[in-house]
Amino acid sequence: MLKSYRFREEREADWRKLDLILTRAENSGVKALTDEDMMALPHLYRQAVSSLSVARSISLDQNVITYLEGLCTRAYFYVYGARTSMGERMAQFMRADWPEAVRGAVLSTLLAAFFLFGGAALAFFLCLQDMDWYWTIHGQSFSEIRTPDASVEALRSTIYTDPGEVGQDRLTAFAGFLFNNNAQIALFAFALGFAFGIPTAWLLAWNGIILGSMYAVFWDKGLGYEFTGWLLIHGVTELFAIVLAGAGGFVIGGAVAFPGRKSRLASARESGQKAATIAMGCVIMLIIAAILESFGRQLINSDTIRYTIAATTAVFWLGYFYLPLRRPGA
């Protein structure tokens, strides 16, 4: 007991000082600490760790050991843990991590675009030559309005909205539905990449085929210009996000298929961080696309404005991802 008492008496003042600093940081944040606190924190932490080591080796009071373990765990976070806030992390992600990951996957992005738009082009020309291909792709659906059998006016009514036709609540619900639907496509395109990228290629090509066959219906009725504006007002962002998600899938698929000297698991793990960064950013793009699709596309009936918004989003995303960043001091 005497040994334990002296051990605490010689060191307890430093423990309490460390505890006080940690409590202040936990209650008010690291910014509440003074310069003296920041200077003392590493020294007090090392002393506490040393005390814990000694306490364990000579089997002192278990309550002291438990207290020191908790104190050292709390201090470790502030000495070695991340010092950035959530806002700073998000800013770093948007400013550097995400665009750098996208720029590093240019070949995968081109490959994903090839499968998506290649599938669309294939279905488009097949359907223009023979509209039976549309029914082969979509099957018979009596609830679908956008079919080769629909009149020009019926098709036109699906791409323009009368004022007051759609309420605010319905638009909000529509935005949520579109986000969930598009997010599933994008995340599947990313997540299925581990199987050498084959499911990702199939998913992208199939969604391109659906898009191209529908586009052929409107083109065949002389509504190609109108349908393009209706599609691109949100499609630039949405299709770009799906292509990037597919690129993330190809990054992982390529790492698994061609691991080099690494094991397939190690290669996939190394590439997974970059691919996951791309995929996480796609969620942001899909939220924007859902808002444009539900509100912008339904409330804006001017083809000129639709094309203007589409061109603006295209310039924005291309500039954001591919223009070189100007770094401080460069």
pLDDT for the residue numbered 307: 95
The C-alpha atoms of residue 240 and residue 109 are separated, in whole angstroms, by 9
Q: Do residues 171 and 292 make contact, with C-beta atoms less than 8 angstroms apart?
A: no
Both structure tokens of 94: 């948007």
Q: Do residues 52 and 72 make contact, with C-beta atoms less than 8 angstroms apart?
A: yes
Domain ranges of the chain: 1-80, 86-322
Mean pLDDT of 181-194: 76
pLDDT tens, residue by residue, 26-62: 887 777 778 788 888 888 888 888 888 887 777 667 7
pLDDT at 330 over 50: no
pLDDT at 103 over 70: yes
Q: Do residues 84 and 92 make contact, with C-beta atoms less than 8 angstroms apart?
A: yes
Q: Model confidence at 220, in pLDDT bands (50, 70, 90)?
A: very high
- Range in 42-46, 146-150, 179-183 the model is least confident about: 179-183
Q: Give 241-307 as a DSSP string.
A: HHHHHHHHHHHHHHHHH--TTS-HHHHHHHHHHHHHHHHHHHHHHHHHHHHIIIIIHHH---HHHHH
pLDDT for the residue numbered 165: 59
pLDDT tens, residue by residue, 222-272: 999 999 998 899 889 999 999 999 999 999 888 888 887 777 777 887 788
The pTM of the full predicted model, rounded to 2 decimals, is 0.71
Alpha carbon separation from 143 to 103, 147, 150, 162, 184 (Å, rounded): 42, 10, 12, 21, 23
